[in-house]
Structure 1
Amino acid sequence: MSGGRATAAERAARVRFRRASALLVLTLLVPGSAQLLAGSRRVGRVAMRIWLALVGLAVAALLLSVVHHAFVIGVATSPDALLLIRLALIAVALGWAWLFFDAWRLGQPRTAGAALLLPHRRMVLGINVVLALLVAVPLLFGSHLASVQRGLMVSMFSGTKVTGAHDGRFNILLLGGDSGAGRWGLRPDSITIASIDATTGKTVLVGLPRNMSNFHFKAGSVMAEQFPDGWGGDGRYLNGLSTWAADHKALFKGYQRPGVEATIEGVEGITGLEINYWAMVNLHGFHELVDAVGGVTLNVRQPIPVGGLGSNVTGYVKPGIRKLTGHEVLWFARARDSSDDYSRMARQKCVMSAMLSQLSPQTVLTHFSQIADASSSMVSTSIPASEVDTFLGLALKAKKQKIATVSLVPPAIVTSNPDEKKIRRMIAAAIAGKRTKASAKKSSTPATAVPSADSSAGSSAGSDSSSSSDSSDSSVVTGGSIGSLKTGYAANQSDDLAASC
Structure 2
Amino acid sequence: MPQEKRDLRNLAEPVRFKRALTLLLMTLILPGSAQIAAGSKRAGRWAWRVIGGIVAIVVFLILLSLVWRSGTINLLVSPRTLRVVQILMVLLAIGWAALFVDAYRLGRPLTLERNHRLTTSILDGVLVVLVVGALFWGSTIVSAQRDFVASVFGNGQKSKADKGRYNVLLLGGDSGADRIGTRPDSITLASVDSNTGRTVLIGLPRNMAKVPFPAGTEMAKQFPNGFEWNNCGHDCYLNGVYTWAMGHKQFFPGVKEPGLLATQQAVEGLTGLKVNYYVLIDIAGFQHLLDAVGGITVDVGKKVPIGGIGSPIKGYIQPGKNQHLDGYHAMWFARSRAGASDYERMTRQKCVMTAMLNQLSPQKVLTKFQSIASASKEVVQTNVPAGELGTMTDLALDSKKLPVSSFSPVPPLIRTGDPDFGLIRSKVAEAIGKSEALDKAASDGNGKKSNTPSSTPTKKPSKPSSTPSKPTTDVEDVASICKA
TM-score range, shorter chain: 0.7 to 0.9
Letter of the structure 2 residue corresponding to residue 494 of structure 1:
V
Structure 1 runs not aligned, ≥5 long: 1-7, 436-442, 453-476
Structure 1 position 481 matched with structure 2 position 467: yes
Indicate conservation of the 8 Å contact 1:9/1:116, yes or no.
no
Structure 2 runs not aligned, ≥5 long: 1-7, 437-456
Aligned residue in 2 for 1:500: 481
Pairing of 1:61-460 with structure 2 (within 5 A): 61-62=61-62, 65=65, 69-70=69-70, 73-108=73-108, 120-183=116-179, 186-233=182-229, 234-235=232-233, 236-321=236-321, 322-433=323-434, 445-446=459-460, 450-452=462-464
- Partner of 2:290: helix, strand, or coil? helix
Query: What do the CA deviations read for 1:71-122 (whole angstroms, capped 9, x no partner)?
Result: 663344322222222222111111010111122233337xxxx598655444
- Partner of 2:179: helix, strand, or coil? coil
Letter of the structure 2 residue corresponding to residue 497 of structure 1:
V
Indicate conservation of the 8 Å contact 2:185/2:239, yes or no.
yes
- Partner of 1:155: helix, strand, or coil? helix
- Partner of 1:493: helix, strand, or coil? coil
Q: Normalising by structure 1, what TM-score?
A: 0.83
How far residue 294 of structure 1 moved from its aligned partner, in angstroms, is 2.1
Letter of the structure 1 residue corresponding to residue 162 of structure 2:
H
Q: Report the identity percentage.
A: 46
How far residue 187 of structure 1 moved from its aligned partner, in angstroms, is 0.7
Aligned residue in 2 for 1:461: none
> Which structure's CA Rg is the greater one?
1
What is the root-mean-square deviation in Å for CA atoms of aligned residues? 2.7
Indicate conservation of the 8 Å contact 1:185/1:280, yes or no.
no
Tell me, in whole angstroms, the C-alpha distance in 2 between the residues paired with 1:118 and 1:305.
Answer: 68
- Partner of 1:51: helix, strand, or coil? helix
Aligned residue in 2 for 1:47: 47
Aligned residue in 1 for 2:31: 31
Indicate conservation of the 8 Å contact 2:16/2:112, yes or no.
no
Letter of the structure 1 residue corresponding to residue 475 of structure 2:
S
Tell me, in whole angstroms, the C-alpha distance in 1 between the residues paired with 2:14 and 2:296.
Answer: 58
- Partner of 1:207: helix, strand, or coil? strand
- Partner of 2:419: helix, strand, or coil? coil
Tell me, in whole angstroms, the C-alpha distance in 2 between the residues paired with 1:170 and 1:193.
Answer: 10
Tell me, in whole angstroms, the C-alpha distance in 2 between the residues paired with 1:192 and 1:300.
Answer: 21
Q: Taking structure 1 as reference, are residues 46 and 334 closer, same or farther at Cα in structure 2, changes over 3 Å only?
A: same
Tell me, in whole angstroms, the C-alpha distance in 2 between the residues paired with 1:116 and 1:153.
Answer: 52
Indicate conservation of the 8 Å contact 1:286/1:378, yes or no.
yes
- Partner of 1:176: helix, strand, or coil? strand
- Partner of 2:463: helix, strand, or coil? coil
- Partner of 1:188: helix, strand, or coil? coil
Tell me, in whole angstroms, the C-alpha distance in 2 between the residues paired with 1:434 and 1:72.
Answer: 28
How far residue 55 of structure 1 moved from its aligned partner, in angstroms, is 3.0
Indicate conservation of the 8 Å contact 1:70/1:393, yes or no.
yes
Q: Taking structure 1 as reference, are residues 345 and 137 closer, same or farther at Cα in structure 2, changes over 3 Å only?
A: same
Aligned residue in 2 for 1:472: none
Indicate conservation of the 8 Å contact 2:296/2:355, yes or no.
yes
Query: What do the CA deviations read for 1:233-276 (whole angstroms, capped 9, x no partner)?
Result: 41222111212111222221222211101111222122221111
How far residue 428 of structure 1 moved from its aligned partner, in angstroms, is 0.7
- Partner of 2:314: helix, strand, or coil? strand
- Partner of 1:433: helix, strand, or coil? helix
Indicate conservation of the 8 Å contact 1:306/1:313, yes or no.
yes
- Partner of 1:182: helix, strand, or coil? helix
Q: Taking structure 1 as reference, are residues 419 and 159 closer, same or farther at Cα in structure 2, changes over 3 Å only?
A: farther
Q: Taking structure 1 as reference, are residues 342 and 29 closer, same or farther at Cα in structure 2, changes over 3 Å only?
A: closer
Indicate conservation of the 8 Å contact 1:159/1:381, yes or no.
no
How many residue pairs match? The answer is 450
Query: What do the CA deviations read for 1:254-304 (whole angstroms, capped 9, x no partner)?
Result: 222111011112221222211111000111111122222222121211111
How far residue 68 of structure 1 moved from its aligned partner, in angstroms, is 6.0
